[in-house]
Amino acid sequence: MKQSLHRLFGDGFRIFFLAAGVFGLLAAIYWQAWLGVHAFGGMVTEHSFAPPPHLWHAHEMIFGYAGAALGGFFLTAVPNWTGAKAARHGFIVLVAGLWLAGRVAIWMSGSLPPVLVAAVDLAFLPVLATKILTQLLNRPKPQNMMFLGLLTLVWLANATVHADWIGLGGPGAEVGLRAGLLGICAMIAVLGGRVTPAFTRNAMTRAGRETDLPASRKPVELIGIALAIGLPVLVLAEAPERLIAVLAVICGAAQLARLAGWRTGWTLGQPILWSLHLAFGMLGAGYLLLGLSLTGMGSEVAALHVLGIGTVGGMTVAVMSRAILGHSGRALVAPRPVALAFGLIGLAAVIRWVGSSAQIDLYFAAMLVAGALWIAAMALFVLSLLPAILGSSAAE
């Protein structure tokens, strides 16, 4: 037990990916309970947190769940990119503690000064980014240094939310939440755009395939990445909605055009690969739906959930699963429960979109079914990969 606990804080991916899965599970259970009460005519009027429940839910899934996934990814990937020393136990304990303190502060925000809540919740990303900076400077490359800018953008989005909750004014909490989600989607546009074709190409090469490998077209790549990064900036700047709508549609089309060259069909028998393609496809679809919704065609909330569940949820679980298996010395083959989790997340995104977009009243039913699928996916992810998270690594 003591050895497993020591190992848990020995690598960034262990504690943060476990935290993401467990928090994604528990936060969704609470949200489902609240929805269930209201779906059957009840009313819950008192909470330990200060913001309205739907804003708490959005904030914690964007900055809580996804924040943990980002922490584990960068603490694991950046040393591999740069050859820098990985973070030590003490730092991992510190930064994990800051992330957890943020979750507790938000949960107890109904009885805490909002300035204190903001200070605690906003502390995590700057400390994480400082460590990432020191590691990136070991081998600075513009394509990697850019992630510091994206992390700053996500932090500014969270600060915008807290400014509203404190009463300082500004664009407002909902603008900050949308910008935070789009900031994380921008990271997926960049990172997912790297790893999805690269991992597919590697697998095809290992299988003896030498032709028709995944290919990327630079102009499309640049358009897709530039627009993905620009959208959260425009949202924070409160740019005209029509401009955001047009750029979101173009961005979505660019992401789907990128995906079209990555040989998705070849991956269908390998969940560890098709999960990446599915999540990236959700990215393109989500941008398209968001842009259309801003012109009055469809629900904006539904489109944002395609991005939140299908893209952020799908890509984080796919990447976390692959990293856990690879760094613990296991074969890069998704266990059946994890493969099922990949599919459940994609299905949850579709059902949640249908619930807000259908002409008949399916809202609560779709919300509850989508939430149940998400909870099942998180439970499968955590329970199936917990032995690998707590077990020895390939290096040991």
- No. of helices (H) and no. of strands (E), the chain: 16, 0
Distance of CA 341 to the CA centre of its chain: 15
Q: Which amino acid is at 118?
A: A
Q: Give the CATH number of domain 2-205+215-390; options: 3.30.1490.20, 1.10.10.60, 3.40.640.10, 1.20.210.10.
A: 1.20.210.10
Structure tokens at 205: 């090469």
Rounded Cα distance between 110 and 95, Å, is 24
Rounded Cα distance between 319 and 385, Å, is 13
Judge whether 283 and 333 are in contact, CB under 8 Å.
no
pLDDT digits (tens, 9 = 90+) for 13-23: 999 999 999 99
pLDDT digits (tens, 9 = 90+) for 65-76: 999 999 999 999
Judge whether 289 and 302 are in contact, CB under 8 Å.
yes
pTM of the model as a whole: 0.95
Over the chain (396 residues), the average pLDDT of each successive run of 10 is 75 95 97 88 84 96 98 95 91 97 97 97 97 93 93 98 94 97 98 96 93 93 97 97 98 98 96 98 98 94 96 98 94 96 98 80 87 98 95 60
Rounded Cα distance between 390 and 14, Å, is 7
Tell me the H-state helices in 89-172: 89-107, 114-121, 124-136, 142-166
The SS3 assignment for 3 reads helix
Provide the pLDDT for residue 355: 85
Instruction: Tell me how crowded residue 289 is: count the other CB atoms within 10 A of its CB.
Output: 26
Provide the pLDDT for residue 49: 94
